[in-house]
């Protein structure tokens, strides 16, 4: 459906609030990703939990926004809450850049934390690391990739070589929609703009709400470094947990049903009640068969 904003612009949104809903989750997407990629997570939520998911301005059918900075992001989150979730306790959950957005909104926007029971950051972007990467090879590669994806989309080549959802693990309908989304040049223009804008965002330093940081175990590059970066996000709240999803990567956290169910359980479950503490170890729901527990603890301690 299309949500009309006070200025006449439109936001593509999907709202699911069953009659028995006693709470809800507001889901914010990663950079360059559509709201449909929450499909497995939403399907695994309990019957008493509704959800709102949406495409930020410039993605899908949502009208592009000419404004930079965080305030326009916060305004939209607040507007969606006021319109669709008024009176319901809310969990704020976001993946990648969306994880940063929901935590920044809850920690800095006036009265945003009121009614929020839990914040869930899913393999979230850590903007300090992003800023430090500016003008490095990683930054140049990211810039080049987004420009090239825009070219591939404009020429139709992206249909044959999708940049994301490469394994097509959603339902056929969602896979078709996702493919069309990635084949739209505006998707990559918006993603590139968000990427550059994110390098100017402030570091998250404090959050007065329970926080769960969910981290993918396998990522491109140094997994131990990634684990350490993610661990820094978890210390911004005095009620926090840091959970690893074994066998997952940044995309499969949501794209693979078994990982998405684990994420949904953490969103819908009891929020953490205390700080990580000096004896912190990341939690998991299971361990690899045959894995040496002592070696695993040592690896996590280094992160």
Q: Look at residue 292 in the predicted model and tell me its pLDDT.
A: 43
Render each residue's pLDDT in the chain as its tens digit; 303 residues: 999 999 999 999 999 999 999 999 999 999 999 999 999 999 999 999 999 999 999 999 999 998 888 999 999 999 999 999 998 999 999 999 999 999 999 999 999 999 999 999 999 999 988 776 676 766 666 766 667 677 767 777 666 666 677 777 889 999 989 888 988 999 989 999 999 899 999 999 999 999 999 999 887 667 888 888 898 899 999 999 999 999 999 999 999 999 999 999 999 999 999 988 766 777 887 654 444 444 444 444 443
Q: Look at residue 123 in the predicted model and tell me its pLDDT.
A: 96
> Are 221 and 192 in contact, with CB atoms under 8 Å apart?
no
> Are 192 and 150 in contact, with CB atoms under 8 Å apart?
yes
C-alpha span between 108 and 115 (Å, rounded): 15
Token couple for 140: 């140049």
For 269, residues 6+ apart whose C-beta sits below 8 A from its C-beta are none
Scan for tokens 């989750």, then name that residue: 25
> Are 46 and 112 in contact, with CB atoms under 8 Å apart?
no
CB atoms within 10 A of CB 166: 10
Q: Look at residue 302 in the predicted model and tell me its pLDDT.
A: 41
């Amino acid at each position: 459906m299309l949500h009309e904003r006070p200025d006449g612009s439109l936001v593509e949104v999907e709202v699911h609030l069953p009659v028995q809903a006693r709470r809800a989750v507001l889901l914010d997407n990663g950079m360059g990703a559509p709201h449909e990629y929450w499909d497995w997570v939403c399907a695994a939520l309990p019957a008493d939990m509704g959800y709102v998911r949406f495409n930020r301005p410039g993605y899908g059918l949502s009208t592009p926004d000419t404004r930079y900075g965080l305030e326009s992001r916060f305004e939209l989150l607040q507007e969606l809450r006021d319109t669709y979730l008024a009176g319901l306790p809310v969990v704020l959950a976001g993946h990648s850049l969306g994880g940063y957005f929901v935590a920044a909104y809850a920690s800095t926007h006036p009265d945003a934390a009121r009614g929020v029971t839990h914040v869930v950051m899913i393999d979230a972007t850590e903007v300090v690391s992003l800023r430090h990467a500016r003008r490095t090879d990683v930054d140049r590669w990211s810039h080049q990739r987004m420009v090239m994806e825009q070219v591939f989309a404009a020429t139709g080549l992206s249909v044959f070589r999708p940049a994301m959802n490469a394994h097509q693990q959603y339902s056929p309908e969602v896979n078709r929609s996702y493919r069309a989304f990635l084949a739209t040049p505006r998707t990559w223009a918006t993603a590139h703009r968000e990427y550059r804008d994110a390098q100017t965002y402030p570091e998250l330093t404090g959050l007065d709400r329970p926080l769960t940081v969910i981290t993918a175990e396998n990522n491109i590059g140094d997994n131990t470094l990634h684990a350490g970066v993610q661990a820094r996000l978890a210390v911004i709240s005095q009620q926090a947990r840091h959970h690893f999803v074994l066998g997952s990567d940044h995309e499969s956290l949501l794209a693979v049903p078994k990982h998405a169910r684990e994420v949904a359980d953490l969103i819908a479950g009891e929020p953490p009640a205390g700080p990580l503490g000096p004896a912190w170890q990341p939690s998991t729901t299971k361990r690899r068969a045959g894995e040496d527990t002592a070696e695993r603890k040592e690896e996590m301690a280094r992160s």
